């Protein structure tokens, strides 16, 4: 497996713009980020500074989230949020511009919570429209969208791989796939073995953390190594994102990798 480091959760001991350099110093050649800005439409100078932090570190950017709203306050994406179309569209344009400069071709489009006062069916229809537009834009640079089931967010409607596939199937786009996050699927009690056995070819990206706690592999009960072995055996050959909260300093959380970086 090839591993990348999610720098929105790891190396948070450092300012965001120094984390790519730290990942490289720790032996990694690839990174991923959630949306790395405070707003949906940061200025050119802020974007340029972010891009430079990645290029100067000498690492590849393999995955990037679109703007997902106020995550600390509980927002989990804008795809289905009626009335926030411009924010999402702005972030899609900026993300694709960053991707063209850094080579990233995978974009996490968090679906969004059920919003009080909005009809869930109307939100779902809105989500299909916004995903279709984003997928069309991503296709122009050979990119893919990934749809992620989440745990710990009561108003987020996609909880299992089946929930995500239902959206993907309705959308009918070849460049939209599942974000296979072992932590979220494990917490939600999904049948991970069945997803691997039946849908490995529809996985666009993988992320890992142990259950419970969301810490590094080996701190919980999830057979992460076993699941990754099965994924590889089923043909998955893309990156695996380390998207955990380190138990202790980040650099001390990599012992389970046994030299594989």
Residues 81-107 pLDDT 10s: 999 999 999 999 999 999 999 999 999
Q: Is 174 a catalytic residue?
A: no
Structure tokens at 74: 């509980």
Q: Is 258 a catalytic residue?
A: no
Residue 246 and residue 253 in contact, taking contact as beta carbons nearer than 8 Å: yes
Structure tokens at 199: 């849908």
Residue 30 and residue 7 in contact, taking contact as beta carbons nearer than 8 Å: no
- Catalytic residue, chosen from 56, 100, 174, 243, is 243
The rounded percent of the chain whose pLDDT value lies above 70 is 99
6: left (phi over 0), alpha (psi -120 to 50) or beta: beta
**pLDDT-derived band at 258, boundaries 50, 70, 90:** confident
**pLDDT-derived band at 1, boundaries 50, 70, 90:** confident
pTM over 0.95? The answer is yes
Which residues are bridge partners to 146 per DSSP? 108, 177
Q: What is the pLDDT of residues 15-25, one digit of tens each?
A: 999 999 999 99
Q: What is the pLDDT of residues 206-254, one digit of tens each?
A: 999 999 999 999 999 999 999 999 999 999 999 999 999 999 999 999 9
Q: How far is Cα 156 from Cα 154, in angstroms, rounded to an integer?
A: 6
- In angstroms, the Cα distances linking 91 to 54, 164, 180, 232 are 19, 22, 23, 32
- Catalytic residue, chosen from 46, 148, 174, 247, is 148
**pLDDT-derived band at 114, boundaries 50, 70, 90:** very high
Separation of first and last alpha carbons in the chain: 9
Q: How far is Cα 66 from Cα 32, in angstroms, rounded to an integer?
A: 12
Structure tokens at 110: 């968090």
* CB-CB neighbours of 120 under 10 Å: 11
β-pairing verdict for 60-65 and 239-242? unpaired
Q: How far is Cα 145 from Cα 173, in angstroms, rounded to an integer?
A: 10
């Amino acid at each position: 497996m090839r591993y990348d480091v999610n720098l929105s959760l790891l190396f948070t001991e450092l300012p965001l713009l120094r984390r790519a350099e730290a990942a490289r110093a720790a032996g990694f050649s690839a990174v991923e980020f959630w949306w790395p800005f405070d707003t949906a439409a940061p200025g050119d100078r802020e974007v340029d500074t972010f891009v430079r932090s990645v290029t100067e570190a000498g690492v590849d950017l393999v995955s990037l989230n679109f703007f997902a709203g106020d995550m600390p306050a509980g927002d989990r994406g804008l795809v289905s949020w009626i009335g926030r179309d411009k924010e999402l569209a702005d972030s899609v344009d900026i993300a694709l511009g960053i991707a063209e400069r850094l080579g990233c071709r995978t974009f996490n489009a968090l679906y969004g919570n059920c919003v009080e006062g909005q009809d869930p069916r109307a939100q779902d229809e809105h989500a299909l429209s916004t995903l279709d537009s984003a997928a069309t834009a991503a296709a122009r640079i050979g990119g893919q969208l990934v749809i992620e089931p989440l745990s710990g967010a009561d108003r987020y409607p996609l909880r299992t791989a089946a929930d995500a596939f239902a959206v993907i199937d309705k959308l009918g786009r070849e460049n939209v796939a599942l974000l296979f996050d072992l932590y979220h699927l494990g917490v939600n009690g999904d049948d991970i073995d069945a997803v691997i056995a039946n849908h490995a070819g529809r996985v666009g990206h993988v992320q890992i953390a142990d259950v419970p706690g969301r810490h590094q592999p080996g701190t919980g009960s999830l057979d992460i190594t076993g699941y990754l072995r099965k994924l590889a055996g089923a043909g998955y050959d893309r990156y695996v994102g380390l998207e955990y909260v380190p138990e202790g300093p980040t650099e001390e959380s990599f012992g389970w990798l046994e030299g594989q970086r």
